[in-house]
Chain A
Amino acid sequence: MGVQPVIVSAGFSEHASKRSDVNMAELMNEAIEDALNKCNCTIDDIDCIINGNMAAFEGANIPELWMTDHIGAKNKPFLRVTTGGTTGGSVAIAAYYAVASGLYDTVLATAFEQQSCGSTTVGLSSVALGEVSIYLQLGYDYEKLRRNMGAGAAIGVGAYQAVNYMSRSHCTEEDLARVIVQNRHNAAKNWWTHLKMPNLTIEQVLDTPYISYPLRFGMVTPASDGSCAMIYTTEENAKKFTDTPVYVNGVASVSNETAIVTSEAGGVGQLDPCEQLGAKISAKLAYEQAGISFPEKEIDYAEVYSPFPNQELMWLERLGLFEENTAHIQYREGITATDGDLPVNCSGGVNSTNAIGASALERVAEAALQIMGKAGNQSPKEIHTAIGHGWGGALNLITLSVLADQPRRKYKGGI
């Protein structure tokens, strides 16, 4: 089964729409410094470095060549991981594997994005240009395709998921706005977040115009500059570095079929965009490794990847924390608030801060910090088990890390 990986620290840079005072390398350095300062560990203790961001968004490919010095990667084993929106989640899993395999003792997981450098539209179009080209080639009207893609690309497949989720669960736009208000209030209490809105109300969110039905301006994720770093190590080393180790008891990364468009202009097998079989499978795999049989009872805290409010509701259900189509009711009752029974996204979530490549790693980092009791917006509840989830674009790649303050109890099958 390999070595049990342990998280000893997690750090962040400050996030904002324009971090005009630093470049990519300096931005990444901020988070690493924060992570090293939070535990009794220096850069000399690091045996391997894993780095990731979303390709092309800053107008620089292979950015790690530029930042080697700033992330302490000189003369050390280095691995770059990039899987779109889930980059951070994949970085976390790569760090887990590096330790679990016994190859390295202490691994630094780093992810960043500086969106103000370049054009998100160019970055996104480089993802979908092939599909768009073949649709046009096969006689699809350009104007109509532009509209269809506009709904698809600009805010991901979030709008489609929202329509189907609302049609299934009968949740209202007010319910969606309630999720936003909770997130942005939480963000105001967390030092590193981007959209800090301590006085936001549901009415204000519902007053903003639609971008794509049913998502309004006030409901969508911002584009942030920021970075995140985490330190993974063995149980033995963890004792030297910290008093509050967090055990990584299960990880999974499952890809599902694309939504809305496929290559070769073929039909899409995923008829209902909010079904999310990939999330269900990844939850099953990761919980099985962690020895969790009743996620709804055993998990105390969840950080889910939700650029759009409907996704937060959807993921909590698909990951087994709430029954299907009931998540919005839990929000009405305050179950998911910082002081509720199951606090969710106390950090403010992706909805308040989205440095794309770093976002999914930040979910794992915040989940770990909540267990350690060191989070920016710490829940008053005692947290023993937490999950950090990631989701990526049209390809529906789901990453999941299950963390706990105790090593895993039993292990059967899986990786």
Chain B
Amino acid sequence: MVKLEYIKKQYPRTRRVHGNWYLSSYQYKFNVKRINQCLEHLRKGELVGLKCRSCNTVSFPPRLICPKCLKMPDQWVHLRETATVATFSGTYAKESGDTEPRPYPVVAIRQDGADTSWLANLPEGYDFFKVYVGMPLKIKWAEDKKGDFSDIEYYEPIEDPSIEMNKKEETEN
């Protein structure tokens, strides 16, 4: 591994006392009223978002409070099964079977019909270098549904006609 050298000053060690800080268990409290309703729909293979009547913003997964107008959204709307990549990155990790660290794609996607993004998964082993902002995806449902986020197995990349158009424009120029 390449290491970048810098001008380093050594400071003498004077005194040091060791201490430990064991993390205790915590009781986090979350209001799952809305998200549970959404998960019930997932069990049936339906995608629903929560719409704020005041500003028409649709959140998926549903949010309890609309950050724009501080109202409680309460109108369920159906969403399409397609989505687009809003942002992505690749974590370089060495997992079982890897000899070298390789990039695992992580993506935040926007479900078509919603105005928010969330962390989603691509098919296992999908080539990171093929991911781009705006890439279209389609949902792949799990075989047996449990009524939680695992019902969406992953998002399958689908054909993107605009890629071909971009290439054509480039060659014309």
Contact = CB atoms under 8 A, between A and B. Distances in A.
Contact of A148 (B60, B114, B119): B119
Most chain-A CB neighbours within 10 Å: which of B14, B23, B106, B150? B106
Contacts of B2: 204, 207-209, 217-218
A167 B85 CA distance: 12
B164 interface: no
Nearest to B1: A209
A139 B117 contact: no
Contacts of B149: 135, 138-140
Interface stretch (A72-80, A259-267, A328-336, A368-376): A259-267
Interface string B15-27: 0100101010010
Contacts of B68: 269
Contacts of B106: 147-148, 150-152
Interface in B92-124: 92-93, 101, 103-104, 106, 108, 110, 114-119, 121
A222 to B, nearest CB: 9
A21 B117 CA distance: 47
A268 interface: yes
Contact of B11 (A18, A197, A265): A18
A391 interface: no
A21 B146 contact: no
Contacts of A200: 4
Contacts of B121: 141, 144
Contacts of B6: 184, 194-197
Most chain-A CB neighbours within 10 Å: which of B68, B91, B132? B91
Interface in A266-295: 266-273
Contacts of A167: 132-134
A375 B72 CA distance: 51
Given A16-B11, A20-B16, A138-B149, A204 B116 contact: no
Tell me the dominant secondary structure on chain B's binding face. loop
B4 A271 contact: no
Nearest to B49: A267
Interface stretch (A45-53, A157-165, A358-366): A157-165
B108 A269 contact: no
Contacts of B103: 210, 213
Interface in B11-49: 11-14, 16, 19, 21, 23, 26, 28, 30-32, 34-35, 39, 49
B67 interface: yes
A16 B6 CA distance: 11
B21 to A, nearest CB: 5
A195 B110 CA distance: 39
Contacts of A134: 28, 30, 32
Contacts of A141: 121, 150
Nearest to B84: A271
Contacts of A126: 23
B7 to A, nearest CB: 4
Interface in A132-190: 133-135, 138-141, 144-145, 147-148, 150-152, 159-160, 162-164, 167, 184, 188
A198 B7 contact: yes
Contact of B89 (A129, A213, A268): A213
A70 interface: no
Contacts of A326: none
Interface of B: 1-2, 4-9, 11-14, 16, 19, 21, 23, 26, 28, 30-32, 34-35, 39, 49, 57, 59-64, 67-68, 86-93, 101, 103-104, 106, 108, 110, 114-119, 121, 128, 132-134, 146, 148-151
20 contacts: A21-B12, A21-B13, A21-B14, A138-B32, A139-B39, A139-B149, A140-B149, A141-B121, A141-B150, A148-B106, A148-B119, A150-B106, A163-B89, A167-B134, A205-B4, A212-B90, A264-B32, A265-B61, A266-B59, A269-B68
Interface of A: 14, 16, 18-22, 59, 118, 122, 126, 129-130, 133-135, 138-141, 144-145, 147-148, 150-152, 159-160, 162-164, 167, 184, 188, 194-198, 200, 204-205, 207-213, 217-218, 257, 260-273
Given A267-B63, A268-B108, A269-B57, 10 more contacts: A21-B14, A162-B89, A184-B6, A197-B4, A200-B4, A209-B101, A212-B91, A264-B32, A266-B118, A267-B61
State the 3 A-B residue pairs at the shortest beta-carbon distance, nearest first.
Answer: A139-B148, A267-B116, A266-B63
